[in-house]
Amino acid sequence: MNVLTMKASIRKELWEFKKILTWVPVALAVLIFVIPALNFFLHDIDTYALFVRFERMVEFQYSHAAEVEKIFFVGLISLFAPFLVLSTIVQLYYFLTCLYDERRDQSVMFWRSLPVSDSLTIMSKLITGALVIPAIFFMVATLVLITILIFALIGCIVLSIGYDISLWGMWVSSNIISAASIIWATLLPLAIWLLPLFAWLMLASMYAKKAPFLWAVLPVVALLLVEGLAVHYLDLSQPFIGSFLLEYFAIAPEHVNTSEIATGMDRLVPFKAIASNIDFSTAFMSAVLFYATYWLRVNKGES
């Protein structure tokens, strides 16, 4: 596979979806700063209470270092979570339109007249949707984090020099880089876990002549309804497909190892909970759906 062509193809996808990939995360980042700022300006701040809280934090940062680490990690997850949610919505939109739009505007004829294989095209769209898009959102989230940390640093300096309140222990206890790295590392298992869903949406995007969203949703709904009726009227124990989908896409509590929380490995729990859902069926379903998408791309006449 030609690396330059792959890079060019991914860049082409980013050009096409440039507006949504720029403005959605930026708008969210702005909101993250604007809402607390509005809160700050619209409500009176009790400075005495604030300083009392800082004094307590001074003691807390040394006596409960492990707690500080947990609180920071939860805060980090809270910061990244809205970006992840929006990223997932954009990803779903991307996969539904990435093969449909170019057929609708007939540009597929132009792209396919160039020496780029269909397999590379599909692979580039997959990489863009599964990894590059969430990476862009995480990048913006990380920039927000860095900005917050810069404000925190300035705050620490002011408190330290002006008021003799030292919160520097917080920085040590928080393990900022390792916490952020763990969240970034979750991207890969997340992408693999959702691969069958992405592949299904790409197939709908490739197959649909109109309304790819309906092509993505209605067959699944119809299948579940038929299966539900069969279970009801044939007195079967439970719907196989329905249970399978429910189990696959659920982050079930049994996947979280409570002993790890006790031993301080709790920061890896989200990573492991997602990774535990990945199995043979992930690879099998994804492979079948991707091959079907590729086959349609190669064999479906577009003019």
Partner 1 sequence: MSPLISINKLSKSYGNKNVVSNVDLTISAGQIVGLVGPNGAGKTTCLQAILGLTDFDGDIDVLGHHPRKDRVKMLNDVAYIADVAILPKWLKVSQALTYMQDVHQNFDMEKAKVFLEKTNISLSDKVKVLSKGMVTQLHLALILAIDAKVLILDEPTLGLDILTRRQFYSHLLEDFYSEDKCIIITTHQIEEIEHILTDVAFIQEGKIVLSESAEDIRERFKLLAVTNEHVEQAKELKPLFSNSLMGLTTMLFDDADKDVLQSLGNVSVPSLADIFVGVMTKEIC
Contact footprint for partner 1 (CB under 8 A): 4-5, 7-9, 11-12, 15-16, 18, 102, 105-107, 109-110, 112-117, 299, 301-303
Q: How far is the CB of 6 from partner 1 (least distance, A)?
A: 10
The nearest distance, CB 204 to partner 1, in angstroms, is 21
Neighbours of 39 (CB within 10 A): 10
SS3 44: coil
In whole angstroms, the minimum distance from the beta carbon of 114 to partner 1 comes to 6
Which one, 67 or 302, has the nearer CB to partner 1? 302
Q: Cα–Cα distance between 94 and 133 in angstroms, integer?
A: 9
For residues 9 and 61, which CB has a smaller minimum distance to partner 1 in the complex?
9
Please say which residue, 84 or 133, places its beta carbon nearer to partner 1: 133
Long-range contacts of 10-14 (CB under 8 A, 24+ apart): 10/124, 10/127, 10/128, 10/132, 12/124, 13/98, 13/124, 13/125, 13/128, 13/132, 14/128, 14/132
Name 195's Cβ contacts closer than 8 Å, sequence gap at least 6: 130, 282, 285, 286
Q: Residue 17 or residue 290: which is nearer to partner 1 going by CB?
A: 17
Least distance in Å: CB of 15 to partner 1?
5
Whole-angstrom distance, CA of residue 132 vs CA of residue 38: 33
> Is the Cβ of residue 185 or residue 298 nearer to partner 1 in the bound state?
298
**Least distance to partner 1, CB of residue 209, Å:** 15
- Per-residue burial over 254-281, b = 16 or more CB atoms within 10 Å of its CB, e = otherwise: eeebeeeeeeeebbebbbebbbbbbeee
